[in-house]
Structure 1
Amino acid sequence: MVVGFIFFITFIIPMICGVLAWRSHSAKAFFIGALAFVVAQVLIRLPLLGWLSYHSDTYMLWRNTMPLVFSIILGLSAALMESCARLIGLKGLKAVTKQQAIFFGLGHGGVEALLIVGVPMLLQPALWDSITVVAGVERIFAMVLHVGLTLLVWLTVQTKKWRYFMMAITLHTTVDASIGIVNTLWPHYAILILETLLIVVSITTLYYGNKKGNEWHEI
Protein backbone atom coordinates (compact mmCIF):
# COMPACT_ATOMS: atom_id res chain seq x y z
CA MET A 1 0.00 0.00 0.00
CA VAL A 2 2.83 2.40 0.87
CA VAL A 3 4.64 1.59 -2.39
CA GLY A 4 1.41 2.27 -4.28
CA PHE A 5 1.11 5.64 -2.55
CA ILE A 6 4.68 6.56 -3.47
CA PHE A 7 4.08 5.40 -7.04
CA PHE A 8 1.01 7.63 -7.22
CA ILE A 9 2.94 10.64 -5.93
CA THR A 10 6.03 10.19 -8.10
CA PHE A 11 4.48 8.93 -11.34
CA ILE A 12 0.75 9.58 -11.53
CA ILE A 13 0.69 13.12 -10.12
CA PRO A 14 3.45 14.38 -12.49
CA MET A 15 1.57 12.76 -15.38
CA ILE A 16 -1.68 14.43 -14.31
CA CYS A 17 0.12 17.76 -14.04
CA GLY A 18 1.51 17.23 -17.54
CA VAL A 19 -1.96 16.57 -18.95
CA LEU A 20 -3.37 19.62 -17.19
CA ALA A 21 -0.49 21.69 -18.53
CA TRP A 22 -1.25 20.51 -22.07
CA ARG A 23 -4.95 21.26 -21.69
CA SER A 24 -4.12 24.70 -20.27
CA HIS A 25 -1.76 25.54 -23.15
CA SER A 26 1.16 25.43 -20.71
CA ALA A 27 2.82 22.22 -21.90
CA LYS A 28 5.92 24.06 -23.09
CA ALA A 29 6.36 25.71 -19.70
CA PHE A 30 5.90 22.35 -17.97
CA PHE A 31 8.49 20.70 -20.21
CA ILE A 32 11.01 23.53 -19.83
CA GLY A 33 10.54 23.37 -16.06
CA ALA A 34 11.35 19.66 -16.08
CA LEU A 35 14.29 20.25 -18.40
CA ALA A 36 15.62 22.96 -16.09
CA PHE A 37 15.91 20.45 -13.25
CA VAL A 38 17.52 17.80 -15.44
CA VAL A 39 20.14 20.22 -16.82
CA ALA A 40 20.90 21.90 -13.49
CA GLN A 41 21.10 18.78 -11.35
CA VAL A 42 21.48 15.65 -13.46
CA LEU A 43 23.74 17.03 -16.18
CA ILE A 44 25.77 19.65 -14.30
CA ARG A 45 25.69 19.74 -10.48
CA LEU A 46 25.65 16.05 -9.55
CA PRO A 47 28.38 15.04 -12.04
CA LEU A 48 30.48 17.99 -10.81
CA LEU A 49 30.09 16.94 -7.17
CA GLY A 50 30.97 13.38 -8.14
CA TRP A 51 34.11 14.59 -9.90
CA LEU A 52 35.13 16.70 -6.90
CA SER A 53 34.69 13.77 -4.52
CA TYR A 54 37.34 11.87 -6.48
CA HIS A 55 39.69 14.66 -7.50
CA SER A 56 39.58 17.36 -4.82
CA ASP A 57 41.26 16.80 -1.47
CA THR A 58 39.83 20.11 -0.21
CA TYR A 59 36.30 19.00 -1.05
CA MET A 60 36.71 15.76 0.88
CA LEU A 61 38.43 17.55 3.78
CA TRP A 62 35.50 19.93 4.18
CA ARG A 63 33.05 17.05 3.82
CA ASN A 64 34.72 15.01 6.56
CA THR A 65 35.79 17.73 9.01
CA MET A 66 33.24 20.54 8.60
CA PRO A 67 29.84 18.89 8.07
CA LEU A 68 27.84 22.02 8.92
CA VAL A 69 29.74 24.27 6.51
CA PHE A 70 29.70 21.52 3.91
CA SER A 71 25.90 21.22 4.23
CA ILE A 72 25.51 24.94 3.60
CA ILE A 73 27.77 24.75 0.56
CA LEU A 74 25.79 21.84 -0.87
CA GLY A 75 22.49 23.59 -0.20
CA LEU A 76 23.71 26.82 -1.76
CA SER A 77 25.06 25.03 -4.83
CA ALA A 78 21.67 23.37 -5.42
CA ALA A 79 19.84 26.65 -4.92
CA LEU A 80 22.12 28.56 -7.29
CA MET A 81 22.03 25.94 -10.03
CA GLU A 82 18.27 25.44 -9.96
CA SER A 83 17.43 29.14 -9.54
CA CYS A 84 19.64 30.07 -12.48
CA ALA A 85 18.07 27.28 -14.55
CA ARG A 86 14.63 28.64 -13.68
CA LEU A 87 15.68 32.16 -14.61
CA ILE A 88 17.08 31.08 -17.97
CA GLY A 89 14.06 28.90 -18.70
CA LEU A 90 11.50 31.55 -17.80
CA LYS A 91 13.35 34.24 -19.75
CA GLY A 92 13.56 31.91 -22.73
CA LEU A 93 9.82 31.29 -22.71
CA LYS A 94 9.02 35.04 -22.83
CA ALA A 95 5.73 36.63 -21.76
CA VAL A 96 5.13 33.89 -19.19
CA THR A 97 1.81 34.09 -17.34
CA LYS A 98 1.50 33.21 -13.67
CA GLN A 99 -0.34 30.01 -14.64
CA GLN A 100 2.52 28.98 -16.91
CA ALA A 101 5.02 29.75 -14.14
CA ILE A 102 3.06 27.42 -11.85
CA PHE A 103 3.19 24.63 -14.42
CA PHE A 104 6.90 25.34 -14.90
CA GLY A 105 7.35 24.70 -11.17
CA LEU A 106 5.23 21.56 -11.33
CA GLY A 107 7.38 20.25 -14.17
CA HIS A 108 10.51 21.02 -12.17
CA GLY A 109 9.23 19.35 -9.00
CA GLY A 110 7.53 16.51 -10.83
CA VAL A 111 10.64 15.32 -12.65
CA GLU A 112 12.61 15.59 -9.40
CA ALA A 113 10.11 13.32 -7.66
CA LEU A 114 10.27 10.91 -10.59
CA LEU A 115 14.06 10.75 -10.79
CA ILE A 116 14.92 10.88 -7.09
CA VAL A 117 12.22 8.57 -5.69
CA GLY A 118 10.06 7.03 -8.41
CA VAL A 119 12.62 5.54 -10.78
CA PRO A 120 14.96 4.22 -8.02
CA MET A 121 11.94 2.59 -6.39
CA LEU A 122 11.06 0.73 -9.60
CA LEU A 123 14.64 -0.24 -10.39
CA GLN A 124 15.44 -1.45 -6.86
CA PRO A 125 12.54 -3.41 -5.33
CA ALA A 126 14.79 -4.04 -2.32
CA LEU A 127 14.08 -0.44 -1.33
CA TRP A 128 10.38 -1.12 -0.89
CA ASP A 129 10.74 -2.29 2.71
CA SER A 130 12.40 1.00 3.68
CA ILE A 131 9.93 3.27 1.88
CA THR A 132 7.53 5.12 4.15
CA VAL A 133 4.55 7.42 3.74
CA VAL A 134 6.82 10.25 4.89
CA ALA A 135 8.73 9.99 1.59
CA GLY A 136 5.51 10.56 -0.33
CA VAL A 137 4.42 13.47 1.83
CA GLU A 138 7.89 14.98 1.45
CA ARG A 139 7.66 14.80 -2.33
CA ILE A 140 4.26 16.53 -2.29
CA PHE A 141 5.57 19.49 -0.32
CA ALA A 142 8.81 19.51 -2.32
CA MET A 143 6.67 20.07 -5.43
CA VAL A 144 4.78 22.82 -3.60
CA LEU A 145 8.11 24.43 -2.75
CA HIS A 146 9.29 24.24 -6.36
CA VAL A 147 6.14 26.03 -7.50
CA GLY A 148 6.65 28.74 -4.88
CA LEU A 149 10.32 29.18 -5.79
CA THR A 150 9.44 29.36 -9.47
CA LEU A 151 6.90 32.09 -8.77
CA LEU A 152 9.63 34.10 -7.02
CA VAL A 153 11.96 33.74 -10.01
CA TRP A 154 9.05 34.57 -12.33
CA LEU A 155 8.46 37.75 -10.31
CA THR A 156 12.14 38.57 -10.79
CA VAL A 157 11.69 38.35 -14.56
CA GLN A 158 8.45 40.34 -14.55
CA THR A 159 9.37 43.10 -12.11
CA LYS A 160 13.18 43.22 -12.58
CA LYS A 161 13.42 43.24 -8.77
CA TRP A 162 16.26 40.90 -7.85
CA ARG A 163 15.21 40.63 -4.22
CA TYR A 164 12.77 37.92 -5.32
CA PHE A 165 15.61 35.96 -6.89
CA MET A 166 17.73 36.30 -3.75
CA MET A 167 14.74 35.22 -1.68
CA ALA A 168 14.35 32.08 -3.83
CA ILE A 169 18.04 31.22 -3.38
CA THR A 170 17.90 31.82 0.38
CA LEU A 171 14.79 29.71 0.94
CA HIS A 172 16.06 26.89 -1.26
CA THR A 173 19.43 26.92 0.50
CA THR A 174 17.75 26.85 3.90
CA VAL A 175 15.70 23.76 3.08
CA ASP A 176 18.51 21.83 1.40
CA ALA A 177 21.26 22.78 3.87
CA SER A 178 19.04 21.85 6.82
CA ILE A 179 19.21 18.18 5.79
CA GLY A 180 22.88 17.86 6.67
CA ILE A 181 22.76 20.32 9.56
CA VAL A 182 19.80 18.72 11.33
CA ASN A 183 21.08 15.18 10.80
CA THR A 184 24.39 16.24 12.34
CA LEU A 185 23.05 18.18 15.33
CA TRP A 186 19.76 16.44 16.12
CA PRO A 187 19.77 13.01 14.41
CA HIS A 188 17.07 11.53 16.67
CA TYR A 189 14.59 14.25 15.72
CA ALA A 190 15.73 14.77 12.16
CA ILE A 191 12.62 13.52 10.37
CA LEU A 192 10.25 15.58 12.50
CA ILE A 193 12.32 18.76 12.22
CA LEU A 194 13.04 18.43 8.50
CA GLU A 195 9.49 17.59 7.46
CA THR A 196 8.07 20.40 9.60
CA LEU A 197 10.54 22.87 8.10
CA LEU A 198 9.75 21.72 4.56
CA ILE A 199 5.99 22.02 5.10
CA VAL A 200 6.22 25.48 6.66
CA VAL A 201 8.67 26.88 4.09
CA SER A 202 6.87 25.37 1.08
CA ILE A 203 3.42 26.65 2.05
CA THR A 204 4.76 30.08 3.04
CA THR A 205 6.75 30.41 -0.18
CA LEU A 206 3.81 29.41 -2.37
CA TYR A 207 1.45 31.76 -0.53
CA TYR A 208 3.86 34.69 -0.78
CA GLY A 209 4.74 34.06 -4.43
CA ASN A 210 1.09 33.72 -5.42
CA LYS A 211 0.11 36.83 -3.44
CA LYS A 212 2.84 38.97 -4.97
CA GLY A 213 2.00 37.56 -8.40
CA ASN A 214 -1.62 38.63 -8.01
CA GLU A 215 -0.56 42.08 -6.82
CA TRP A 216 1.70 42.47 -9.85
CA HIS A 217 -1.19 41.58 -12.19
CA GLU A 218 -3.37 44.21 -10.55
CA ILE A 219 -0.87 47.04 -11.14
Structure 2
Amino acid sequence: MLFQSANVSNEMVFIGGIERIFAILLHVGLSIIVMYGVFSSKRGYYLLALTLHFLVNASAVLVPVWFSANHLLLIELFLIVISLGLFFYCLKLKKVWGMS
Protein backbone atom coordinates (compact mmCIF):
# COMPACT_ATOMS: atom_id res chain seq x y z
CA MET A 1 0.00 0.00 0.00
CA LEU A 2 1.31 3.41 -0.95
CA PHE A 3 -0.18 5.42 1.95
CA GLN A 4 -0.39 2.99 4.84
CA SER A 5 -0.60 5.59 7.59
CA ALA A 6 -3.40 7.51 5.84
CA ASN A 7 -5.45 4.33 5.30
CA VAL A 8 -5.98 5.20 1.63
CA SER A 9 -5.90 2.56 -1.10
CA ASN A 10 -3.81 2.93 -4.22
CA GLU A 11 -7.01 3.01 -6.27
CA MET A 12 -8.26 6.05 -4.37
CA VAL A 13 -4.93 7.83 -4.91
CA PHE A 14 -5.21 7.07 -8.65
CA ILE A 15 -8.82 8.31 -8.80
CA GLY A 16 -7.78 11.46 -6.93
CA GLY A 17 -5.02 12.12 -9.45
CA ILE A 18 -7.37 11.65 -12.40
CA GLU A 19 -9.88 13.96 -10.71
CA ARG A 20 -7.25 16.70 -10.35
CA ILE A 21 -6.33 16.45 -14.04
CA PHE A 22 -9.95 16.89 -15.12
CA ALA A 23 -10.54 19.62 -12.52
CA ILE A 24 -7.63 21.57 -14.01
CA LEU A 25 -9.01 20.97 -17.51
CA LEU A 26 -12.41 22.21 -16.33
CA HIS A 27 -11.05 25.40 -14.79
CA VAL A 28 -8.87 26.22 -17.78
CA GLY A 29 -11.87 25.69 -20.05
CA LEU A 30 -14.09 27.87 -17.88
CA SER A 31 -11.44 30.60 -17.94
CA ILE A 32 -11.33 30.44 -21.73
CA ILE A 33 -15.14 30.71 -21.87
CA VAL A 34 -15.05 33.80 -19.64
CA MET A 35 -12.20 35.33 -21.66
CA TYR A 36 -14.10 34.72 -24.90
CA GLY A 37 -17.16 36.37 -23.40
CA VAL A 38 -15.15 39.42 -22.36
CA PHE A 39 -13.47 39.88 -25.73
CA SER A 40 -16.66 39.28 -27.70
CA SER A 41 -18.77 41.42 -25.30
CA LYS A 42 -21.23 38.58 -24.73
CA ARG A 43 -22.31 38.15 -21.11
CA GLY A 44 -23.92 34.82 -21.87
CA TYR A 45 -20.52 33.13 -21.85
CA TYR A 46 -19.88 34.37 -18.33
CA LEU A 47 -23.23 32.92 -17.26
CA LEU A 48 -22.39 29.67 -19.06
CA ALA A 49 -19.12 29.40 -17.12
CA LEU A 50 -20.90 30.10 -13.82
CA THR A 51 -23.60 27.54 -14.59
CA LEU A 52 -21.14 24.81 -15.53
CA HIS A 53 -19.06 25.48 -12.42
CA PHE A 54 -22.22 25.34 -10.29
CA LEU A 55 -23.31 22.04 -11.88
CA VAL A 56 -19.96 20.38 -11.28
CA ASN A 57 -19.86 21.55 -7.65
CA ALA A 58 -23.51 20.66 -7.07
CA SER A 59 -22.96 17.16 -8.42
CA ALA A 60 -20.97 16.32 -5.29
CA VAL A 61 -24.12 16.94 -3.27
CA LEU A 62 -26.86 15.91 -5.69
CA VAL A 63 -25.48 12.65 -7.08
CA PRO A 64 -25.58 10.85 -3.70
CA VAL A 65 -29.16 12.08 -3.23
CA TRP A 66 -30.34 10.95 -6.68
CA PHE A 67 -28.44 7.66 -7.00
CA SER A 68 -27.64 4.90 -4.58
CA ALA A 69 -24.72 3.50 -6.60
CA ASN A 70 -21.05 4.24 -6.03
CA HIS A 71 -21.24 8.01 -5.54
CA LEU A 72 -17.57 8.81 -6.04
CA LEU A 73 -17.33 7.21 -9.46
CA LEU A 74 -20.56 8.89 -10.66
CA ILE A 75 -19.35 12.30 -9.49
CA GLU A 76 -15.99 11.77 -11.18
CA LEU A 77 -17.68 10.57 -14.37
CA PHE A 78 -19.83 13.72 -14.38
CA LEU A 79 -16.69 15.86 -13.98
CA ILE A 80 -14.97 14.00 -16.82
CA VAL A 81 -17.95 14.41 -19.17
CA ILE A 82 -18.31 18.14 -18.45
CA SER A 83 -14.53 18.72 -18.72
CA LEU A 84 -14.19 16.89 -22.02
CA GLY A 85 -17.27 18.59 -23.44
CA LEU A 86 -15.88 21.95 -22.42
CA PHE A 87 -12.49 21.08 -23.91
CA PHE A 88 -13.99 20.27 -27.30
CA TYR A 89 -16.20 23.37 -27.14
CA CYS A 90 -13.10 25.50 -26.50
CA LEU A 91 -11.43 23.93 -29.54
CA LYS A 92 -14.47 25.00 -31.55
CA LEU A 93 -14.25 28.52 -30.06
CA LYS A 94 -10.58 28.63 -31.05
CA LYS A 95 -11.58 28.27 -34.70
CA VAL A 96 -14.41 30.80 -34.38
CA TRP A 97 -12.07 33.23 -32.63
CA GLY A 98 -9.65 33.00 -35.53
CA MET A 99 -6.85 31.22 -33.69
CA SER A 100 -6.67 28.10 -35.86
Which whole-Å CA distance do the structure 2 matches of 1:194 and 1:208 have between them?
A: 21
Amino acid at match of 1:146: H
Quote how far apart the aligned CAs of 1:156 are. 1.1
Amino acid at match of 1:200: V
Q: How big is each residue's C-alpha offset from its partner over 1:163-215, in whole Å with a ceiling of 9 and x where there is no partner? A: 11111011111110010111223243212211111111001112112321331
- Whose Rg is larger? 1
5+ residue gaps, structure 2, are none
Measured on the aligned residues, the alpha-carbon RMSD in Å equals 2.0
Q: In structure 2, what is the equivalent of residue 95 of structure 1?
A: none
Quote how far apart the aligned CAs of 1:146 are. 0.8
Quote how far apart the aligned CAs of 1:126 are. 4.0
Contact 1:156/1:163 (<8 A) preserved: yes
Q: In structure 2, what is the equivalent of residue 138 of structure 1?
A: 19
Q: How big is each residue's C-alpha offset from its partner over 1:134-180, in whole Å with a ceiling of 9 and x where there is no partner? A: 11111111111111101100101110111111110111111100101
Distance 1:126 1:2, change over 3 A: closer
Q: Once superposed, which parts of structure 1, at least 4 consecutive aligned residues long, lie more than 4 Å away?
A: none
Equivalent residue in structure 2 for 1:191, among 58, 69, 72: 72
Alignment: residue pair count: 96
Identity of aligned residues (%): 34
5+ residue gaps, structure 1, are 4-124
Distance 1:183 1:212, change over 3 A: same
Amino acid at match of 1:215: V
TM-score w.r.t. structure 2 length? 0.82
